[in-house]
Amino acid sequence: MNMMAFSSLFCSTRFIPTPFLSTATYLLSPQHNCASFIPQKKQCKREFPLPAVASVPHEPINFEYLQEEFSGHGVTFEEACGSCVVKMELRNGSTVTMMLPSGLITSYKALMWHGGKVELLHTSVSEGENGDPLIQGGVSLNFNFQTDHDGELSWSPTNWVLHKIHGKPRESIQVELATRTPDGKIGLKYIVTLEKDTLNSQLKISNRRSLPLLVTGSILNHLTLSSPEATYAIGLEGSSYCSIPLFESEFMLSPKDSSQGEGFGKVFPQWSTKSQNNGLEGSQVNNEEIDNYKQLSEELSLLYTEAPRSFTVIDRGRRNSVSVGRSGFDEMYLFSPGSRVEIYSKYSYICVGQASILKPIIISPQDVWRGEQFIYNPNLDA
């Protein structure tokens, strides 16, 4: 499928089938199929049984049934190219768009004090290696699981199924996704909650194995901007950080994304060959942030090992701000492409990740770990 054919699948008239796109209303994962869901009961709180093996292919979803079943609950479903697009919408107009089965959140449009809505996430649609649409950005989960004994287990969750939906459109809407390893001994729940001024992403990991489980990775956010040069991070003064290679993720916009000799590969040649294992060779350690009003105009890829649980990003160009916070994660990742990128372009964004990279999360046998992040919109009040 080429990009022109793919563009007809989108409902938004703002979509332009070019390599660069700042935001999109409906985005889907072209390489995956959606799972089938059969409700157990007809009630406000919807639950769906999990398959015995989450990685097994599923039958296409019955979109017509889901639209009829969930109409009025603030959640709608769209079909495009055999994939599932889930849209959450509150009565105040705030919306979130998410893809299944990848779990990628592609859009968060938040209500502002002036009554309009502003897109807070940055998502790009470009042409992939095989001519299929390549979707990157948004909010993504990027985790790897290993045992601390002999590395006999190495697994990354990529196939999520819908498990529960509940809430009220006037107050909040919650969508719960789930996945598990083929043997069922590691279970994950990904709970996305949209409130009037907040998008919350919570992860629950259950370890039913007899060995401790080591978890590394990040919840990675692409925040859309006018330009990195007009953007400032507020509240990081005194934090400890080190420079690390660019974070490796199929959903992250990075030098690897440019196949036409444009973007990072040309602008920043030293970033054209990033580490495939996120190695930390050559990292600069023992740095302390001295600026409480940090301009993000420089090219940077930083891991904060000690930082506040939340901080604020201000974009002077769009006259907008957003706060990002976390719990359960000890580290925070910050990436900026720097000021040499074109304003309002494919690379007009920064990445903020709630991370566990240098310090893995260790989950004891038969234990459950919880971590979450929030994107807070402080712009509802004038």
The pairing of strands 320-327 and 310-315 is antiparallel
Give the DSSP letter string of 119-166: E-B-EEEEE-TTSSEEEEESEEEEEEEEESSS---EE-----EEEEEE
Round to whole Å and give the CA distance between 257 and 250. 9
Residues linked to residue 294 through DSSP beta bridges, in sequence order: 233
pLDDT of residue 268: 37
Span 266-312, pLDDT tens digits:
333 334 334 334 445 445 467 999 999 999 999 999 999 999 999 99
Q: Say which CATH class 63-254+285-376 falls into.
A: mainly beta
Give the DSSP letter string of 184-219: SSEEEEEEEEEESSEEEEEEEEEE-SSS-EEEEEEE
Answering whether pTM is above 0.85, one says: no
Per-residue pLDDT of the chain (382 residues; tens, 9 = 90+): 444 333 322 333 232 223 333 334 334 333 333 333 323 333 334 443 433 333 334 446 667 766 776 666 789 888 766 678 899 999 999 999 999 888 999 999 999 988 899 999 999 887 777 777 778 899 999 998 987 665 556 777 878 888 888 888 999 999 999 999 888 999 999 999 999 999 999 999 999 999 999 999 999 999 999 999 999 999 999 999 999 988 778 888 875 443 333 434 333 333 433 433 444 544 546 799 999 999 999 999 999 999 999 999 999 999 999 999 999 999 999 999 888 777 777 888 999 999 999 999 999 999 999 999 999 999 887 5
Span 47-56, pLDDT tens digits:
434 333 333 3
68 Cβ neighbours under 8 A, 6+ residues apart = none
Q: In terms of C-beta density within 10 A (0-12 exposed, 13-18 middle, 19 or more buried), how is residue 102 classed?
A: buried
The letter for the amino acid at 102 is S
Backbone φ and ψ for 254, nearest 5 degrees, come out as -160, 180
Domain definitions of the chain by residue range: 63-254+285-376
